[in-house]
Structure 1
Amino acid sequence: MKRPNQAEFYVGSYSPEGEPAIHLCTLDLASGEMRVQSWTAGIENASYLAVNSVKNVLYAVSEKDEGEVYAFAIDPVAGSLTELGSRKTEGGAPCYVSIAPKGDYIFVSNYSGGNINVFPVNADGSLQEMSAQVRHAGVGVREDRQEGPHPHSIIPDSRGSRVLVCDLGLDQILIYNVEDGKLTTHREIELPPGSGPRHLAVHPTGKWMYLINELNSTVTVFTNNEQQGDLQILQHLSTLPDQHIAGSDDTGADIHVSPCGRFLYTSNRGHDSIALFHIDPATGLLQAEDWQSTGGRTPRNFAIVSGMLLAANQNSGNITSFTIDKDSGRLIPTGNELELPAPVCIKAL
């Protein structure tokens, strides 16, 4: 049970099916200390998680050759998980799951399968049969990473009338209309060749959207016209320091806007850092301010949890915690870390 001055979060990890895959952890908001409270096995490579708005259901993708998505009921007191069943995604390496604003559908992107899915949700949070699927086609300029489509994330807009799909292989954000669980193409947003669009973050005002590009370690700023379902590019800038000589292991991974809307953070694998950008409140444009080591290797994912930032370092098997300076947005290491095998997704409860 959560105590005062304590937050809870789930961690998804790359793990064999019989080993712990999803951990429920606690975060001490005074010290930044983290502890494992319980764990769940029975799902292989739980690489991305989503918790619904009423916090009674968690969804997790199983990133394997024949992908699946699982639903789990969340115990209201203990936070422990009880499986509600799973569905096949009909594509390999599902790497993202998101939930419609009303909680009536979930959306999945399959990285190696090149397809995206829609699943209706029952009243108890369990999943119905797939209601829609779209397979992308095409190639990008990078033969080593863009030999075909690779949808890496899929997020609904605030009204649930559209979803935005970042396809790393095609250098596109594809926008689909969602109606009665079906998808129709609305618009395609082109990114510079070789960018590798990965994840999106929406500003709290809804005015702007921010994209982390994996392959060239950049962030792209857009104006967000949700009513028209359109994005207009305002800015591209590097997520790495000017003095850093980028190598083949330097790839952008995750992106989040602070709840106050003043700061943007991105994670850099290879450089193993979290980049801090200040957001201009009038224009949404970014100014690079700082880079903080994550205290580990390969920060695939991070999360802002109750005013603190937690970084999941996949290859060093640890999660590190940081306080956030309220004035500057800079990250201050707490000195605490939690050892977990291959942590790759953090979601607050």
Structure 2
Amino acid sequence: MTTQNEIVFFTGTQTKDTEKGIFRCALNKLDGSMRIVSSTEGIENSTYLVVNSIGDRLYAVSEKSEGEIFVYAIDNETEELQLLDRKPTHGADPCFISLSTDGQYAFVSNYSGGNVNVFRIGDNGTIEESCTITHSGHSVNPDRQESPHPHSIYPDPSGSFVMVCDLGIDQIVIYRLEGGQLVKHREVNLPPGAGPRHFDFHPTGKWAYGVNELNNEVTVFTYDDKNADLHTIQSISTLPDDYNEGVSYPADIHVSTCGRFLYASNRGHDSIVQYDINLDTGKLTAVDWQSTHGEYPRNFTIVEDEFVLVANHKTGNVVSYYVDTETGRLSTTGYILELPIPMCVQSL
């Protein structure tokens, strides 16, 4: 059983449905050590997960050619997941899922399908699709931007708007959420070949930050929540100036709860970059890079502003770090949890 000194987190993996796919794990708050508590089979390529605000439901995508969304009840007594529902996403390779601020809807982005979904969440845990939108267009990279590739989808802090980072068309597409329907509001253009991937808002709601997979940059935006308008004020590299050892792609991005620090993961450089956030302007200063002690870090999560957990895709491990609450600097705890092809970590 999980103890009072442990924090529960879930890890999604790139495994077959006959193998263990979603792992319930525990992080020890005293030393950063981790352990596997239980595991769940029956879902293929559970590459992205999200837990609802009250911690009793877990939503996962199944990233395959005929994509699906799975809903589980989180039983904290048995420490197992119970499948409540699964539905097709009508798109190939769903790679991201998030929840509306009121918990009534789940949003899914289908990378290869070029479409995004909205699912209405019922009181009994079932889901029903209420909207599907297919993007169109392409951009300058013939290998990666031959068609739309929505990579992530996020509600804004007000809950009235939804942002879709589309790597294939170099746009953040903003929708109004109206009764479970997505209504296009505006498009924000990124530089050709940028490849917008993931996104996060500052706790104040005044700024937003997008990480671009193809040009290795973080874009800083001011955010007008009344008009849902993003205005670019800065672009900054995710890599150190002296890095010239090969190809690298950033993956994930998160702002600390305190709002003073921002972190992003680099696949290739295999690092977490830390930026200090200017609380007057929202702009960034890169201050540190920490090795992920593994290869190809995908998703990571900040746990209570005290720990960071990083999923290293190619080396099959999750690594824990202490967070210095004064400086934001990361330091390894020395603990590594081995898991099969981890793609996503989400704390309870």
TM-score range, shorter chain: over 0.9
Is it true that 1:282 corresponds to 2:280 in the alignment?
A: yes
Query: In the alignment, which residue of structure 2 is the partner of 1:97?
Result: 97
Deviations 1:199-255 (A, max 9, x none): 00111111110001001111000001111111000100100000001633x001000
Tell me if structure 1 keeps the 8 A contact 2:85–2:125: no
Change beyond 3 A, Cα 1:204–1:79: farther
CA distance in 1 between counterparts of 2:2 and 2:174 reads: 39
Aligned residue identity for 2:188: I
Query: In the alignment, which residue of structure 2 is the partner of 1:6?
Result: 6
Residue identity over aligned pairs, in percent, reads: 52
Query: In the alignment, which residue of structure 1 is the partner of 2:265?
Result: 267
Query: In the alignment, which residue of structure 2 is the partner of 1:214?
Result: 213
Aligned residue identity for 1:262: R
CA RMSD for the aligned pairs?
Answer: 0.9
CA distance in 2 between counterparts of 1:30 and 1:251 reads: 33
Q: What TM-score, normalized to structure 1?
A: 0.98
Aligned residue identity for 2:219: T
Q: Which runs of 5+ in 1 are unaligned?
A: none
Query: In the alignment, which residue of structure 1 is the partner of 2:223?
Result: 224
Aligned residue identity for 2:213: E
Match of 2:299 among 285, 298, 301: 301
Where does structure 1 differ by over 4 angstroms across 4 or more consecutive aligned residues?
none
Query: In the alignment, which residue of structure 2 is the partner of 1:185?
Result: 184
Q: Give the CA deviation at 1:114.
A: 0.1
Helix, strand or coil at the partner of 1:178: strand
CA distance in 2 between counterparts of 1:205 and 1:80 reads: 36
Q: What TM-score, normalized to structure 2?
A: 0.98
CA distance in 2 between counterparts of 1:189 and 1:155 reads: 15
CA distance in 1 between counterparts of 2:216 and 2:181 reads: 33
CA distance in 2 between counterparts of 1:194 and 1:247 reads: 18
Aligned ranges for residues 184-203 of structure 1 at < 5 Å? 184-203=183-202
Query: In the alignment, which residue of structure 1 is the partner of 2:75?
Result: 75
Query: In the alignment, which residue of structure 2 is the partner of 1:59?
Result: 59
Q: Give the CA deviation at 1:5.
A: 2.1
Helix, strand or coil at the partner of 2:205: coil
Tell me if structure 1 keeps the 8 A contact 2:307–2:321: yes
CA distance in 2 between counterparts of 1:334 and 1:89 reads: 39
Query: In the alignment, which residue of structure 1 is the partner of 2:242?
Result: 243
Aligned residue identity for 2:113: G
CA distance in 1 between counterparts of 2:245 and 2:257 reads: 30
Helix, strand or coil at the partner of 2:127: coil
CA distance in 1 between counterparts of 2:176 and 2:258 reads: 30
Q: Give the CA deviation at 1:76.
A: 3.3
Helix, strand or coil at the partner of 1:206: coil
Deviations 1:104-136 (A, max 9, x none): 1111000000000011010022212x1111100
CA distance in 1 between counterparts of 2:22 and 2:223 reads: 34
Helix, strand or coil at the partner of 1:220: strand
Is it true that 1:164 corresponds to 2:163 in the alignment?
A: yes
Q: Which runs of 5+ in 2 are unaligned?
A: none
Q: Please, which moves more after superposition, 75-84 or 273-282?
A: 75-84
Give the paired residue count: 347
Deviations 1:53-92 (A, max 9, x none): 1111110000000000000011133442100111101100
Q: Give the CA deviation at 1:339.
A: 0.2
CA distance in 2 between counterparts of 1:324 and 1:315 reads: 24
Helix, strand or coil at the partner of 1:131: strand
Query: In the alignment, which residue of structure 1 is the partner of 2:44?
Result: 44
CA distance in 2 between counterparts of 1:346 and 1:240 reads: 23
Aligned residue identity for 1:263: F
Q: Give the CA deviation at 1:273.
A: 0.1
Query: In the alignment, which residue of structure 2 is the partner of 1:28?
Result: 28
